[in-house]
């Protein structure tokens, strides 16, 4: 089998230079990449760069090498088309089926998955015309990843920044691995919580846990690659924002509850992968708690935190919503998992065994996914993304 064929469309935004890194990542990971820039893109990065980095000729129009019929062949032969950055203009032309350059011809002839990574000023992104064009492309099955928030061209900051090339690459890798043109979470809003809450004792100390957030981030990343709009509620992870995901940073269990309830009001699925503290210190000391000579320290009095999973499972902010919980157990894993599933009344519970050197912080996971319908789906040891994909498979069956 030859290398997977990827078309990298580049349109005329200031972030075009970042597509060079995406191109490098794609070629170095064994993909045959054909770059199709727009004429405007060449104002930012020249044809020589695209050609040298990809090892293929580069043109913007349908009139070069006409004997090879490139306006049809490039799209027909592609396993994936990714447009990064996608300008407001290119999104508009793609949404309306225009075919006025090589890239838009390629988009019309491609029958493989298509990913757009838009980048533009916030005003352009928020304009109703762009919103409608993005909705049209998503409805037709394209994965349009949400722009990141941050520094834009000139002095402005806001939403509209191209996500990091490494993150766009991850989306491409996931989409290619699934190899389906119709992303099965398209049009869905999913909420994922990740990381571990920290419950402050005083300005310098907290009660925390060992959760790294990697499993939750894998869930967010895979959902975005399957076409979902994703809100990731991240508690103390320090991980880079996944491409195309709206990230809300929180610290404590109470903050996490607030953020989840707000995001869940219009969500199709909520996956609670964060390790939420069951208890928090009853009192918060305004100043650092000091050692007192000859005295034992005061005991720490704890109070219960809200049980977010049970609350959201009981209330279901949106009818038909699928709720997934995680149970980290150290012993009697399955029996404890079944009891927890009943008590929480969620639809699915991902049960895994944890320990100081098991699961937390590692790249791998192993679990059994218990269903409220009595089902048991074992997921063998493997990357956290593999477990994430399995969770979404089960969510999709329940949503449909």
Ligand X SMILES: Cc1cc2nc3c(=O)[nH]c(=O)nc-3n(C[C@H](O)[C@H](O)[C@H](O)COP(=O)(O)O)c2cc1C
89 is a contact residue toward ligand X (CB under 6 A): yes
Member of 19, 120, 137, 218 binding ligand X (CB under 6 A)? 120
Pseudo-torsion of CA 307, 309, 314, 319, nearest 10°? 150
Member of 12, 227, 281, 325 binding ligand X (CB under 6 A)? 12
Query: 11 or 49: whose CB is closer to ligand X?
Result: 11
Residues belonging to the active site: 209
**Which residues between 13 and 42 bind ligand X (CB under 6 A)?**
13-15, 38, 40-41
Q: Contact region for ligand X (CB under 6 A) — 118-126, 225-233, 272-280, 308-316?
A: 118-126
Cβ 334 vs Cβ 374: under 8 Å: no
In whole angstroms, how far apart are CA 134 and each of 223, 290, 302? 18, 56, 48
CB of 245 to ligand X, least distance (A): 20
- What does the block give as tokens for 312? 């959201």
Whole-angstrom Cα distance, residue 179 to residue 121? 32
366 is a contact residue toward ligand X (CB under 6 A): no
**Which residues between 133 and 192 bind ligand X (CB under 6 A)?**
153
117 is a contact residue toward ligand X (CB under 6 A): no
Member of 7, 11, 328, 351 binding ligand X (CB under 6 A)? 11
CA 189, distance to chain mean position in Å, is 12
Q: Which residues contact 25 (CB under 8 A, 6 or more apart)?
A: 165, 166, 169
Cβ contacts of 149-152, under 8 Å, gap ≥ 24: 152/121, 152/122
Member of 119, 245, 274, 341 binding ligand X (CB under 6 A)? 119
122 is a contact residue toward ligand X (CB under 6 A): no
Cβ 235 vs Cβ 366: under 8 Å: no
Query: 88 or 218: whose CB is closer to ligand X?
Result: 88
285 is a contact residue toward ligand X (CB under 6 A): no
99 is a contact residue toward ligand X (CB under 6 A): no
- What does the block give as tokens for 107? 């988009």
47 is a contact residue toward ligand X (CB under 6 A): no
CB of 100 to ligand X, least distance (A): 9
CB of 99 to ligand X, least distance (A): 13
Q: Which residues contact 159 (CB under 8 A, 6 or more apart)?
A: 122, 125, 126, 146, 147, 148, 149
Task: Write each residue from 48 to 87 as x if it is in contact with ligand X (CB under 6 A), else as -, in one continuous string.
Answer: ---------------------------------------x
Query: 38 or 54: whose CB is closer to ligand X?
Result: 38
Q: How far apart are the first and last CA of the chain?
A: 35
Member of 88, 218, 274, 354 binding ligand X (CB under 6 A)? 88
Whole-angstrom Cα distance, residue 221 to residue 214? 10
Residues contacting ligand X: total by CB under 6 A: 16
Q: Which residues of the shown chain bind ligand X in the complex (CB under 6 A)? A: 11-15, 38, 40-41, 87-90, 119-120, 124, 153
């Amino acid at each position: 089998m030859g290398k997977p064929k990827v078309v990298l469309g580049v349109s005329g935004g200031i972030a075009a230079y970042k597509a060079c890194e995406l191109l490098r990542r794609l070629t170095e990971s064994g993909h045959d990449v054909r770059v199709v820039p727009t004429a405007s893109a060449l104002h930012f990065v020249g044809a020589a760069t695209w050609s040298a980095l990809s090892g293929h000729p580069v043109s913007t129009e349908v009139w070069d090498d006409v004997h090879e019929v490139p306006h049809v062949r490039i799209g027909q032969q592609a396993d994936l088309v990714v447009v990064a950055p996608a300008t407001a203009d290119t999104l508009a032309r793609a949404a309306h089926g225009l075919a006025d350059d090589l890239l838009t011809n390629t988009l019309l002839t491609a029958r493989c998955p298509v990913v757009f990574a838009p980048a533009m000023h916030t005003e352009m992104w928020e304009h109703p015309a762009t919103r409608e064009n993005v909705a049209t492309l998503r409805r037709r099955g394209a994965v349009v990843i949400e722009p990141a928030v941050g520094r834009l061209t000139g002095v402005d900051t806001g939403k509209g920044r191209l996500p990091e090339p490494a993150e766009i690459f991850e989306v491409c890798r996931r989409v290619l691995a699934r190899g389906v043109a119709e992303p099965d979470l398209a049009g869905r809003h999913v909420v994922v919580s990740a990381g571990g809450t920290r419950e402050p004792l005083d300005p310098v100390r907290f009660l925390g846990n060992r959760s790294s957030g990697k499993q939750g981030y894998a869930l967010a990343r895979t959902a975005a690659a399957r076409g979902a709009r994703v809100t990731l509620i991240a508690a103390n992870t320090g991980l880079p924002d996944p491409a195309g995901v709206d990230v809300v940073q929180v610290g404590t269990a109470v903050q996490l509850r607030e953020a989840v309830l707000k995001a869940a009001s219009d969500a199709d699925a909520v996956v609670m992968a964060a390790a939420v503290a069951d208890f928090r210190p009853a009192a918060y000391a305004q100043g650092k708690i000091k050692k007192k000579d000859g005295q034992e320290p005061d005991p720490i009095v704890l109070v219960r935190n809200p049980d977010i999973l049970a609350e959201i499972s009981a209330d279901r902010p949106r009818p038909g919503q699928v709720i997934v919980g995680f149970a980290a157990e150290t012993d009697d894993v399955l029996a404890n998992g079944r009891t927890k599933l009943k008590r929480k009344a969620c639809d699915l519970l991902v049960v895994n065994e944890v320990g100081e050197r098991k699961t937390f912080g590692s790249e791998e996971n192993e679990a059994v996914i218990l269903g409220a319908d009595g089902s048991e789906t074992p997921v063998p040891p493997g990357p956290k993304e593999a477990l994430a994909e399995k969770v979404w498979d089960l969510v999709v069956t329940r949503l449909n």
